[in-house]
Chains A and B, each alone.
Chain A
Amino acid sequence: MPINISNEKQRDAVVAMEGVRPKRDVRYVDEDMNAVFNRRLLKTDVSHELPELMKKLPNFEDISEALVDADPEIDTENFGMFLTETSRVYVGDGGIVHSVEEFEVVTNPDGTERERRPRKKEPQNINTDVPLKWTGKFIKKPDAVKRFVFAGKKQLAHINGLTFDFLYEIAKKLHEEDSLLLLRAGEHRDRPLVMNRGGKPYNAFLEGRIEGDSYCLILHLSNMELKRPAPIEDDRMPATAKRKASAEPEDKKKLTRAKPAVTEHDVADAEPKKIKAAKKKADTKTRK
């Protein structure tokens, strides 16, 4: 995967970014020491599950009899087949749906709903016309490991002789500083890194190591601080939210509650089926 990154002199280059795998020493063999493989296979599909069977046989007794007599829940031709090249699709009552509206439901650590909003799929920002900026913000390694959990790692690699020199110099600088460099994306150096469209945003820190004439540049990705969760009180409301709520004047509280659940676009677009159906019913009654 290409990544467009700039150095201390704000010169930028497109280089390669590779995934970092954990070392794995365990593998499995059969009794004759031959390699074995894991394969995903089909156990059942939706057309053989209970809701579909109930469309044909509405009561459970009939279904029970059918299960014993005729095995309608099993497709002997297809069940057990190896699954390759699968894809993910949205499915409704009428089958595959191609046009959908997606909403994100943001939930607090205590499980209460905080926000409901139309989903935005941010594009990737690691290989655009605007290179990832050298922020100059160095964090000493011992401080960084005390503050952040690094959930993922990538490694940067050169694609030719010129980019070897470019990356080696970056690694050497970071090695000498004994620090991680904060990397940001966007024109204003204010965006976390997004690797794929709709992917998770990460705070990224670059580490450089040197061994003779070779280098190792590791991009540490973090979306979590090293800290304890806030205690959740008995009434299932987080302490901070409770303090905030009690500090608000009464009229403001009412205003907050009166806000629509969806923060962007038309509220009507965001209404789930049940609300829409209830409104429709109410309208019909009024007209009558």
Chain B
Amino acid sequence: MAKPLVLSLDGEEFPVKLAKIDRERLYGSVTVEAFDEHGDEVFLRVLAYDGKTIIDKGGTALATVTEQGDSIPRNRLIAVSSDGEELEPVPSSFSAPNLLERATVEDYLSHTVKSVYALEAAEESELDHLRDSLSDGRIYKFPFSYRGGLEYDGAFLIGNKEGIFMIVGQPAVLKFLKLGQAVVLEPTEEQEVAADDLDFDLL
């Protein structure tokens, strides 16, 4: 059985299981099929800048290179903060209890959402106290990393009539603007979204 995530509130521990939720599981999805004038199916591919090299899925790779353009293997890279300090890896949040702290709604709204999970009590545990604590609109947060890594994301617990949810996100760069900080208006981008990127239209 998968290891539960342990949440800690008011000295009580709540082992929980996570079930990922996304749009596809709630509403379904939309895919695009395309056909040429003879009714034969055609497929989206990448065309290189030379106008003749056609690349299928899996035909490209990401490489890390130095300023001179030389490839450098990942095991020789060093992760640093914006101040240039070398970063210590953070452990997975599943490895120890996670202490919950009160969060404001503005704090939550200042994060860009990466993933959403529904919480279930792990075997033989009860979530009553946690549910009660969230019932009056309170939000709790804790630093979260699924597998461990270089930095934590922010995880927020929100309760509603459907249950308890954990929303994981990263803090967003929000700017408070003054009179002298007018921006230059760029023209409307009539750029099309790639056809295979579309999974909308069920609203």
Contact = CB atoms under 8 A, between A and B. Distances in A.
Contacts, number: 340
A91 B46 CA distance: 9
Contact of B30 (A20, A42, A107): A107
A91 B42 contact: yes
Given A20-B172, A45-B59, A141-B109, A106 B26 contact: no
B137 A216 contact: no
B2 interface: no
Interface string B36-76: 11011111111111000111101111111111010010001
Interface stretch (A54-62, A222-230, A244-252): A222-230
A31 B78 CA distance: 7
A238 to B, nearest CB: 9
B148 interface: no
Contact residues on B (Cβ < 8 Å of other chain), bracket? 35 or more
B179 A226 contact: no
A71 interface: no
A114 to B, nearest CB: 7
A69 interface: no
B68 to A, nearest CB: 9
Given A28-B79, A160-B182, A41 B63 contact: yes
A89 B58 contact: no
Interface string B10-37: 0000000001011111111111111111
A203 B27 CA distance: 15
A127 to B, nearest CB: 5
A31 B74 CA distance: 11
Interface in B149-185: 150-151, 158-160, 162-163, 165, 167, 169-179, 181-185
B128 interface: no
B189 interface: yes
Contacts of B176: 209, 211, 214-216
Contacts of B81: 25-27
Contacts of A96: 47, 54
B96 interface: no
A82 B60 CA distance: 10
Contacts of B72: 30, 36
Contacts of B45: 46, 88-91
Contacts of B53: 42, 45, 78
B42 A90 contact: yes
Contact of A87 (B34, B47, B139, B167): B47
28 contacts: A22-B170, A25-B81, A25-B151, A28-B79, A37-B67, A39-B63, A47-B54, A84-B49, A90-B36, A91-B43, A95-B54, A97-B36, A100-B34, A107-B30, A114-B28, A141-B105, A145-B109, A146-B137, A150-B113, A153-B112, A157-B181, A160-B182, A161-B179, A197-B190, A197-B193, A200-B200, A211-B176, A228-B162
